[in-house]
Amino acid sequence: MTILDGKKISNDIKNEIAAEVEKMKANGEKVPHLAAIIVGDDGASLTYVGSKVKACERVGFESTLVKMPHTTSELELLKKIKELNEDDNIDGFIVQLPLPPQIDTQKVLLTVDPSKDVDGFHPENFGKMALDMSTFIPATPFGILELLQRYDVDTKGKHTVVIGRSHIVGRPMSILMSRKGWPGNSTVTLTHSNTKNIAQITTQADIIISALGVPNFLKAEMVKDDAVIIDVGITRVEDADHPKGYVITGDVDFENVSKKASFITPVPGGVGPMTIAMLLKNTLLAREQRKG
């Protein structure tokens, strides 16, 4: 069994990006600038956005954090997005999801300039991804592809089962794993909350990508020997013994599933850090595209 070490690989990627930034600086060029908008004060979202900003510092990017109160109206948020669209100093930006209920997420995503949409959530970019055109690939799926590639995991002709159909992970992942090329070329089954007999499907899988958000959902008896297991779950589970009062728990019963798996991502230290590294990679790409 091999651990897919997202902490290590994301660190390698950040070093590669930092080296690119050094070259930009040496040439007297502008360094990439990422902005993040966060609406409200959800603890987990604040932590994720904080990590994204910290990662920018680590690789030498400029960053801007825009904090808006949970009472922000849709109009106010759209106005802020338009400001960032027009700000020549910003190469790419993200609007952290989820948004409060008074705001229509689809309207928000449609307002982001596709050339600055480093999350890859705008329909134009999502469509390009589905059609194998060059574009920003959403950071979490992009991170999973990168992990599979750097560990030389064979995906061709394999049966990939994706659990969860979210627009951020499950849906794009199902498209990417079916694409011609590597990683891809696999036969994909996309399962979700209405799927019947899910264990019957997961036991047929060569590769399982779980993005459900239910702690320890995937048990050893749901997995065949030598399967590749990618755990995208990052649920905060209360734990009074832990200084923070919670522990981050994945979708996979790691202790038992890892005994059967050929490759497996840990939580934490698997997919999570890869997401941030690939957001930086998309921002570098956005900068290069703006340069012309």
Taking CB under 6 A as the binding criterion, the range among 73-81, 89-97, 173-181, 199-207 that sits at the site for ligand GUN is 89-97
Q: Which residues contact 88 (CB under 8 A, 6 or more apart)?
A: none
Q: Is 119 in the site for ligand GUN (CB under 6 A)?
A: yes
User: Is 63 marked within a binding site?
Assistant: no
User: Is 234 marked within a binding site?
Assistant: yes
- In this structure, the number of other CB atoms found within 10 A of the CB of residue 160 comes to 25
Q: Is 96 in the site for ligand GUN (CB under 6 A)?
A: yes
Catalytic residue among 5, 80, 91, 96: 96
- To the query of whether residue 239 is one of the catalytic residues in this protein, the response is no
Taking CB under 6 A as the binding criterion, the range among 76-84, 91-99, 180-188, 222-230 that sits at the site for ligand GUN is 91-99
The nearer residue to ligand GUN, 13 or 257, going by C-beta atoms, is 13
Tell me how far apart the alpha carbons of residues 204 and 232 are, in angstroms, rounded to a whole number.
20
- The residues in 166-185 that bind ligand GUN, with binding defined as CB under 6 A, are 168
- Nearest-approach distance from CB 99 to ligand GUN, in angstroms: 9
- The residues in 257-276 that bind ligand GUN, with binding defined as CB under 6 A, are 275
- Is the bond preceding 215 in cis, omega lying within 30 degrees of 0? no
- To the query of whether residue 119 is one of the catalytic residues in this protein, the response is yes
Q: Is 252 in the site for ligand GUN (CB under 6 A)?
A: no
The nearer residue to ligand GUN, 32 or 272, going by C-beta atoms, is 272
- Nearest-approach distance from CB 166 to ligand GUN, in angstroms: 9
- To the query of whether residue 200 is one of the catalytic residues in this protein, the response is no
Q: Is 117 in the site for ligand GUN (CB under 6 A)?
A: no
Binding ligand GUN by CB under 6 A: which of 95, 188, 211, 257?
95
Q: Is 228 in the site for ligand GUN (CB under 6 A)?
A: no
Tell me how far apart the alpha carbons of residues 203 and 212 are, in angstroms, rounded to a whole number.
17
- Nearest-approach distance from CB 173 to ligand GUN, in angstroms: 12
The nearer residue to ligand GUN, 94 or 175, going by C-beta atoms, is 94
Q: Are 128 and 134 in contact (CB under 8 A)?
A: yes
- Nearest-approach distance from CB 231 to ligand GUN, in angstroms: 15
User: Is 164 marked within a binding site?
Assistant: yes
- Nearest-approach distance from CB 97 to ligand GUN, in angstroms: 4
3-state secondary structure the chain: CEECCHHHHHHHHHHHHHHHHHHHHHCCCCCCEEEEEEECCCHHHHHHHHHHHHHHHHHCCEEEEEEECCCCCHHHHHHHHHHHHHCCCCCEEEECCCCCCCCCHHHHHHHCCHHHECCCCCHHHHHHHHCCCCCCCCHHHHHHHHHHHHCCCCCCCCEEEEECCCCCCHHHHHHHHHCCCCCCCCEEEEECCCCCCHHHHHCCCCEEEECCCCCCCECHHHCCCCCEEEECCCEEEECCCCCCCEEEECCECHHHHCCCCCEECCCCCCHHHHHHHHHHHHHHHHHHHHHC
Taking CB under 6 A as the binding criterion, the range among 77-85, 94-102, 217-225, 283-291 that sits at the site for ligand GUN is 94-102
* Residue ranges at the known binding site: 164-166, 234
Residues that bind ligand GUN (CB under 6 A): 94-97, 119, 139-140, 168, 275
Residues classed as catalytic: 52, 96, 119
